[in-house]
């Protein structure tokens, strides 16, 4: 088996959120992995079309979920986690220019 096939089959994926299964319509818009220490991201940019600012709303909601998870795991209070996330986001957005590669691909049905 090729290395890429082994890595893909051994990837640890999260479960689909409960509300997705009972939804009349659901579209996956982002999938992210830490692979060999680097962020690997797949995006479905089609749902927002030219409204790219909606990604800001999505990222903010993800930040709130991450802050809540930190609080539920006993790491820190929601507001402390959100402040840390915001600080790291602002720093990374203003100073980082990640190396990115990719292309537009089709969607996969499971």
Q: Decide: 71 and 77 in contact? Cβ < 8 Å.
A: yes
- DSSP string covering 17-78, please? PHHHHT-S-----EEEEEETTEEEEEE--GGGTT-TTHHHHHHHHHHHHHHHHHHHTTSS-H
Contact indicator for 85, 66 with CB cutoff of 8 Å: yes
Per-residue pLDDT, averaged over 12-18, amounts to 90
pLDDT reported for residue 56:
95
Q: What is residue 1's predicted lDDT score, i.e. its pLDDT? A: 42
Q: What is the mean pLDDT of the chain?
A: 86
Residue whose pair of structure tokens reads 């090729």 in the numeric block? 2
Question: Do the Cβ atoms of 20 and 26 come closer than 8 Å?
Answer: yes
- Looking at per-residue pLDDT, the higher value among 102 and 5 belongs to 102
pLDDT tens for residues 46-63? 899 999 999 999 999 999
User: Could you give all domains of the chain from N- to C-terminal order, each with its CATH number?
Assistant: 3-95 (3.30.2370.10)
What pTM, to 2 d.p., does this model score?
Answer: 0.79
């Amino acid at each position: 088996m090729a290395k890429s096939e082994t890595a893909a089959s051994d990837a640890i994926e999260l479960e689909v959120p409960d509300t997705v299964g009972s939804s009349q319509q659901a579209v996956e818009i982002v999938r992210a992995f830490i692979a060999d220490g680097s962020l690997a991201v797949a995006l479905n940019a089609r749902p927002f079309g030219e409204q790219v600012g909606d990604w800001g709303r999505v990222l903010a909601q993800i930040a709130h979920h991450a802050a809540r998870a930190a609080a539920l795991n006993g790491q820190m209070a929601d507001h402390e986690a959100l402040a840390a996330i915001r600080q790291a986001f602002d720093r990374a957005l203003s100073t980082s220019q990640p190396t990115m590669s990719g292309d537009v691909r089709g969607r996969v049905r499971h």
